[in-house]
Amino acid sequence: MDSNQRMITWSSAWALVEGQVVCTGCMRTQTILESDKPFIHEPGCITGGESASMPWVHLHEILDFERG
């Protein structure tokens, strides 16, 4: 998967609003200060089953991949 495809996958599950990452499934948010903690979804959130339960870490990995 190239970095563009990774970013598309990321942005289908998450959004960045006012400096916080927002789950597009349950609309819960997490600040960057909590980036080392697992994202807590609402019960039954469809995005909650994704492996990317740490969206900031996942985003960082995409950046690292892009920059090599």
Interface residues with Zn ion (CB under 5 A) are: 23, 25-26, 41, 45, 47-48
* Closest CB to Zn ion among residues 23, 62: 23
Nearer to Zn ion, 21 or 62 (CB): 21
Q: Minimum Å distance from CB 50 to Zn ion? A: 9
Q: How far is the CB of 14 from Zn ion (least distance, A)?
A: 9
- For residues 10 and 55, is the Cβ–Cβ distance under 8 A? yes
The residue (of 3 and 28) whose beta carbon lies closer to Zn ion is 28
- Rounded to 5°, the CA angle 15-59-33 comes to 80
Q: Name which of 62, 53, 63 is nearest 23 in CA terms.
A: 53
Amino acid at 27: M
